[in-house]
Amino acid sequence: MAYILPNLSPTLLLPKDNKLSTIILPLPSVSFFAVSTQTKLEPPPPRGVAQVNRTSGSQDKKEDQRNDFYVNLGLAVRTLREDLPSIFAKDLNYEIYRDDITFKDPLNTFTGIEKYKLVFWALRFHGRILFRDISFDILRVWQPSENMILIRWNLRGIPRVPWEAKGEFQGTSRYKLDRNGKIYEHKVDNFAFNFPQQLKPAASVLDLVTACPASPNPTFLWGPVDAQSSSWVEFYRAIIVTLDRESLVIPQDCLATCS
């Protein structure tokens, strides 16, 4: 019987009493039209919903910025690993640095990407002139904090003059990164030296440091400059003189030769 009832006419379900039949009336069509019209209208969104959307948009922006930082950080580490061992053979990839990058060593400070490029040009140019063989090796790469990259390196060279023995020394390069993952500071410090005892080189900029066992922290002090010279100190002085010449214009063919 249950499946038959929906198909029955409403008039058949009414009692035979005429009084009751007059009381039960179908809803007017106007009411149905009014209800259907109201259901189509949507009220404006409350203020709370709009505020939540703005907050989520700000969070998405911060998340995108963090993602960009880690992408650029990974690119910086990978580029440094690839570029530094060949600094005496070819130029660097400068996309990982900011235009206002600052370069510091224990005696000097230079600012600007053009000066920074000149540092590595001078390394290649004067390194080939003063040394028969010179190389740069990476010993360790690590991050003491999220926005800093530390690289422990070793520099070896054989001077062209026959009375000087080959020598090597280590140092630390500290690269600081901004919130976008770009390098804005490069600081060189923490020098340690290893020269043959039988042929100790003449006093040089390298000898201005009190040698201690290599460590990631700057533990070496600079003393007064000695007047004597060697290939190492001439190498350092040549780089500084090159950087101090503000009006220096390097010929393009020389750049091509040393790049």
Six token digits for residue 255: 């750049």
DSSP code of residue 107 = S
Alpha helices by DSSP H, the chain: 10-13, 18-23, 29-40, 47-83, 113-130, 231-244, 252-258
Judge whether 72 lies within some domain: yes
Give the pLDDT of residue 58. Answer: 74
CB 41 within 8 A of CB 154: no
Nearest to residue 202, comparing CAs of 166, 157, 164?
Answer: 164
Summarised one tens digit per residue, pLDDT across range 162-197 is 888 888 888 999 999 999 999 999 999 887 766 544
**CA–CA dist 166, 195 (Å, integer):** 7
Nearest CA among 164, 134, 165, 136 for reference residue 151: 136
- 3-class secondary-structure state, position 181: coil
CA dihedral for 194, 115, 244, 250, sign (positive or negative) = positive
Does the residue 43 lie in any domain? Answer: no
Residue 23 belongs to a domain:
no
34 within some domain: no
Q: How much is the CA Rg of the chain, to the nearest whole Å?
A: 38
- Identify the segments of the chain with pLDDT beneath 50: 1-4, 12-13, 20-23, 30-35, 37, 196-228, 247, 249-259
pTM score = 0.63
Query: What pLDDT, on a 0 to 100 scale, did the predictor assign at position 156?
Result: 92
pLDDT of residue 111: 95
User: What's the CA gap between 151 and 214, in Å, rounded?
Assistant: 12
Query: Is position 32 within any domain?
Result: no
Give, as one character, the DSSP assignment of residue 195. -
Q: Report d(CA 232, CA 236) in Å as an integer.
A: 6
We report the CATH number of the domain holding residue 194 as 3.10.450.50
Asked whether residue 69 is domain-assigned, the answer is: yes
- 111-136 pLDDT, tens digit per residue, is 999 999 999 999 999 999 999 999 99
In a domain, 48, yes or no: no
Domain that holds residue 191: 59-258
Total structural domains within the chain: 1
Rounded Cα–Cα distance for residues 233 and 116 (Å): 20
* Token pair 């580029």: residue: 79
Containing 97, the helix (H) or strand (E) segment is strand 97-104
Specify if 211 maps to a domain. yes
The pLDDT value given to residue 35: 47
